[in-house]
A and B are shown apart, each in its own frame.
Chain A
Amino acid sequence: MSSLGELSTFAAASVRMATPLALAGLGEAYSERSGILNIGLESIILSGAFCGFMAANATMSLALGVLAGVAGGLLMSLLHAYLSVSCRADQTIAGLALNFLAAGLTSYAFLLRFGKSTDLPRCPVAPPIAIPVLSDIPLLGPALFDQNAFAYASFATVALSVLVFRRSEWGLSLCAVGESPQAADSVGLSVERTRYAAAAVNGALGGLAGAAITLGSLGFFMENVSSGKGYIALVAVILGRRQPLGVFAAALLLGAADALQFRAQAMGLGIPSQAFIMFPYVATVLVLLFSIGKGSEPAALGKSFDRSRR
């Protein structure tokens, strides 16, 4: 194979790996901008992957699978919003609780439905859709214009999110609620409603990310299929500073690291693959370290808001 061909395969693989990270990361960016740090992103993705798979397996319809995946993500995210917004519970503990709950529920329900059979139950997989002309561009074509619907959805979400954050009133109120809930409340914005709405966006996109795993690439479900992607998506959100383009670029970088790790394993370089897997986490700590004092975090991130208190 020519080196250009190899590079283009690698680029396409990176975008494929990045798709769930980008979708979930963009959703989390909405949530974090409104002041909710949702460590339970993993549970949203897992629930989306599971519900999407179950529906698609039962009906053999991709569309119904995607809908169910979004619903599954919404369920977990709204539960987190209930705990952290309505109950004013610690957001991190609430997220961890949901991660336990989703891991348990999905694995339990999957075993109940299918038992411990050796042949994996399957579901349809979204095929790649080549966009005429554009997909023939060398390198960029296969990477950007010969992907499945989930990847295109992530591109569209990036564009839409740029508009929402920069141009829409709702995007502005989202930031207001995340920066200073007291001030937002005093001008008549409902902090609760805005945070619930942000959580809903997070759940829908995270659920879609989960569906992108089972319906977009694997075609089956197994216990803990999200395998830490929720935490890696959190990394993408920090690396990308909660900006849509930034989150997407970070997701691409993380996807490329993932693709590289598979390549390195296949080539047998003698370096343990853990060295590659570790890389994004080290990068995150370094980025956090170098962004000290730049104030990129919403001021009220992680803090619950109580109207009756000052």
Chain B
Amino acid sequence: MRALGLALSYAASGLVLLAAAAGAIAAAGCDPAAAAAGFARGAFGSVYGLSEVVVRATPLALAGLGVALGFRAGFFNIGSEGQIYLGAAGATATALLFPGLPPWALAPLCLLAGAAAGGAWAAVPGLLKARFGLSEAINTIMFNYIAINLVGILVRTLLKDPANPLPMSPRLPEASFLPVIVPGTRLHAGFLLALASAAFVAVLIGWTKAGFRMRAVGLAPRAAAACGISVAGNVLLASTLSGALAGLAGASEIAGVHHRLLEGISPGFGYLAIIVALLGRNRPAGVVASALGIAALQVGSTAMQRSAGVPTSIAWIIMGLLVALILARPTLFRSLIGAEGGKR
């Protein structure tokens, strides 16, 4: 009976979302059915469409894994966006510093540098929380703005391409490129990296002592401390790993897609990563699945704009509404499911 109510509440949330999307499309004077067909064709109708979904999903999955990992240890990382930017800058600087290295060395080194830069950037708010109890919610947002502006300064000064008037770095040496895994598309090895990272996080969180300690700190810091688990140490560890995954996302965008550092290298991937982690219920497999879902929503809505003239901002409406519905579902449909006590 309860399970039925729960299923009904999810179905009702889904219906509200669909109705809102259809309403928005109809308000734009388009036929919802035709728009939906355009959406599906764009995201799933061709090898190229599918590959674009996976290309989009790659940074979302990596950064989303980072947010999820932080969450499990009680570190709410809203700073993925900044960590992605610094990861991208770290990878770019490495590729420009060592242009002579062979591909088997340079590409991994770039990824490593990106992860290190992202991890270091997240470790600062992590340390502030662990050592001084400063809330990470505001600090990580501030660090986002600082990082984005730092990259803005870098592409105008140290990393600027002297041959180009625009604020961007020179094109990186080819040895830094991640290999394309499906010829004729942009799909690069970064997605395999995301899958490997998901497996790594799953094992770390679920099967190791270190993961157990982080989860304990996330669930009940005082109980964990009473058992001799260092709360500060684990918050710092989780924030660093969380930032390293986001940094990896930035590095993979550079080495796999852009091959140079630009302003606006991330169109809000870091904020989307929070939605991805939330939808994936902070489980690695769930995060990868929801990253693919959010990526499909974006690629599909771009196609819908081309085919049916529906503005792409519909994707943002759907995402905002989706999260609001997830938050409100237990209360909105209380009569269906009774109180969902305790568990979150």
Minimum Cβ distance to chain A for residue B32 (Å):
15
Interface status of B311 (Cβ within 8 A of chain A): yes
Query: Bound complex: CA of A87 vs CA of B317, how far in Å?
Result: 21
Is B78 within 8 A of A92, CB to CB? Answer: yes
Stretch at the interface among B11-19, B90-98, B151-159: B151-159
* Residues B156 and A272 in contact, CB atoms below 8 Å apart: yes
Alpha-carbon distance between A103 and B153 when the two chains are bound, in angstroms: 27
Q: Contact check, A100 vs B316: say whether CB atoms are below 8 A apart.
A: yes
Q: Contact between A97 and B320 (Cβ–Cβ < 8 Å)?
A: yes
Assess the B323–A112 pair: CB atoms within 8 A.
Answer: no
A residues near B152, Cβ cutoff 8 Å: 272, 274
B46 located at the interface, meaning its Cβ lies under 8 Å from any Cβ of chain A in the complex: no
B124 to chain A, nearest CB (A): 8
Q: A96–B134 contact, CB under 8 A?
A: no
Count contacts between A and B, CB distance < 8 Å. 135
Q: Does A187 contact B (CB under 8 A)?
A: no
Q: Which DSSP category, helix, strand, loop or mixed, fits chain A's interface?
A: helix
Question: Closest B-chain residue to A291, C-beta based?
Answer: B134
Residue among B27, B153, B314 making CB contact with A272, cutoff 8 Å: B153
Total A residues in contact with B, Cβ cutoff 8 Å: 48
Q: How far is the CB of B277 from chain A (nearest CB, A)?
A: 10
CB-CB under 8 A from B275, the residues of chain A are 96-97, 100
Interface of B is mostly: helix
**A288 interface residue per 8 A CB criterion:** yes
Task: For B334, give the chain A residue with the smallest CB separation.
Answer: A87
A278 touches B145 (CB 8 A): yes
Q: How far is the CA of A145 from the CA of B1 in the complex (A)?
A: 67
- Counting chain B CB atoms within 10 Å of each CB, the highest count among A97, A102, A282 belongs to A97
Residues of chain B at interface, number, CB under 8 A:
45
Q: B327 touches which one: A87, A274, A281 (CB < 8 A)?
A: A87
Complex: A284 Cα to B137 Cα, angstroms: 13
Contact across chains for B316 and A288 when beta carbons are under 8 A apart: no
- Decide: B139 and A104 in contact? CB cutoff 8 A: no
Q: Is B146 an interface residue (CB 8 A)?
A: yes
* Choice from A82, A87, A289 contacting B128 with Cβ under 8 Å: A289
Q: Is the CB of A111 within 8 A of B311?
A: yes
Q: What A residues does B149 contact at CB under 8 A?
A: 274-275, 277-278, 281
A-contact bits for B323-339, CB 8 A (1 contact / 0 none): 11001101110000000
Those of A69-96 within 8 Å (CB) of chain B: 79, 82-83, 86-90, 92-94, 96
User: In the bound complex, do residue B320 and residue A101 qualify as a contact, i.e. CB atoms below 8 Å apart?
Assistant: yes
Task: Please pick, from A37, A39, A103, A228, the residue contacting B313 in the complex, using a CB distance under 8 A.
Answer: A103
Q: Residue A90 contacts which of B132, B271, B327 (CB distance < 8 angstroms)?
A: B327
Within 8 A of A (CB), among B287-341: 311, 313-321, 323-324, 327-328, 330-332
| Cβ–Cβ contact B157 & A272, under 8 A | yes
A212–B276 Cα distance when bound, in Å, is 34
Find chain A residues with CB under 8 A from B37 CB. none
Tell me which of A82, A96, A231, A285 contacts B274 (CB under 8 A): A96
Residues of A contacting B157 with CB < 8 Å? 272
Contact of B121 with A by CB under 8 A: no
B143 contacts across to A, CB distance below 8 A = 281, 285
Q: Within residues 92 to 133 of chain A, which ones have a CB less than 8 A from any CB in chain B?
A: 92-94, 96-105, 107-108, 111-112
Does B135 interact with chain A (Cβ within 8 Å)?
yes
CA distance in complex: A98, B322 (Å)? 10
**A97-B324, A284-B138 known, 6 other contacts, Cβ within 8 Å:** A83-B327, A96-B275, A105-B317, A107-B311, A274-B149, A274-B152
Chain A interface (Cβ < 8 Å from any Cβ of B): 37, 39, 79, 82-83, 86-90, 92-94, 96-105, 107-108, 111-112, 223, 228, 231, 234-235, 238, 272, 274-275, 277-278, 281-282, 284-285, 288-289, 292-293, 297, 302
What are 10 A-B residue pairs whose CB atoms fall within 8 Å in the complex? Answer: A83-B327, A93-B323, A96-B323, A100-B275, A105-B313, A107-B311, A223-B313, A231-B141, A278-B145, A289-B132
Q: Which 3 pairs between the two chains have the least Cβ-Cβ distance? A: A101-B320, A104-B316, A100-B320
